[in-house]
Amino acid sequence: MAATPTSGNGARRTQAQRSAATREALLDATLACLVEDGYARTTTTRVAERAGLSRGAHLHHFRTRNALVAAAIGHLAERWTQELLAAAEDLPTGRERLAEGLDLVWRSYANPLFQAALDLWTQARTDAELREHLLAVERQLDRQTLELARRLFPDLAARPTFEPLVEMAISTIRGLALLDTLHPDGARNRKQWPSCRAMLVTLLQAEPAGDD
């Protein structure tokens, strides 16, 4: 048997593999901690505990708490967009496509990860270092979202009002998702979303581009 560790059964891992695994575990633990405990209680001790590692391991990979959080932001953004893009592939064609597309975005915000992001967001207001990281991520996410919208609805995208409409839809969804913060079950939102979605569909289809 070749002793190549890259394809090993797990018993024998190369240094790089070990390192990557612990990094991943730390980042996952950080996100879980942000979701469940909030930013304030996302301490180095707690994250290490949750990851099943020591604080030493933590400090080895991320020398400060801020470094950990910065990496976690990237991790979060990546996961989020991947989920969104993956779900977008299954979007049906036909007259329900627009409503389903809005549902898609809605679901991506009615999601624990958004709560974690929101927590980071508000903290960033009074933390310059955090703000730097989040601004970069925000720009990228906005760009990707708009691009996705254009790709999914090319006929609507031709209209000059498309971009403001998409931005408004996202703002509405964000505002609604904000309510979930205090209503963990989300009962309140699930009631408001259908009517909001209907209104957004009305706006987006206001002047159909002829193709129907």
Rounded to a whole number of angstroms, the minimum distance from the CB of residue 7 to DNA is 13
Q: Does position 92 bind its own copies by CB under 8 A?
A: no
- d(C-alpha 183, C-alpha 178), whole Å: 9
By CB under 8 A, residue 140 contacts its own copies: no
Using rule CB under 7 A, residue 159 touches DNA: no
Query: In this chain, which of 30, 108, 145, 172 binds its own copies, going by CB under 8 A?
Result: 172
Contacts of 165 (CB under 8 A, 6+ apart): 203, 204
Q: Does 70 bind its own copies (CB under 8 A)?
A: no
Q: How many residues bind DNA (CB under 7 A)?
A: 27
Q: How far is CA 66 from the centre of its chain?
A: 19
Residue carrying the six token digits 């929101």: 118
Residue 48 has a CB neighbour count (10 Å cut-off) of 19
Contact map string, positions 97 to 126, toward its own copies, x by CB under 8 A: ------------------x--xx-xxxxxx
- Give the span between the Cα atoms of 142 and 167, in whole angstroms: 9
Site string for DNA, 59-98 (x = CB under 7 A): xxx-xxxx--------------------------------
In angstroms, the Cα distances linking 18 to 13, 22, 71, 102 are 6, 6, 18, 41
Q: Six-digit token pair at 24?
A: 């991943």
Q: Which does 114 bind (CB under 5 to 8 A by kind): its own copies, DNA, none?
A: none
Between CA 41 and CA 184 the distance in angstroms is 18
Of 14-53, binders to DNA (CB under 7 A) are 14-16, 18-19, 21-22, 41, 43-46, 53
**Applying CB under 7 A, which residues contact DNA?**
5, 12-16, 18-19, 21-22, 41, 43-46, 53-57, 59-61, 63-66
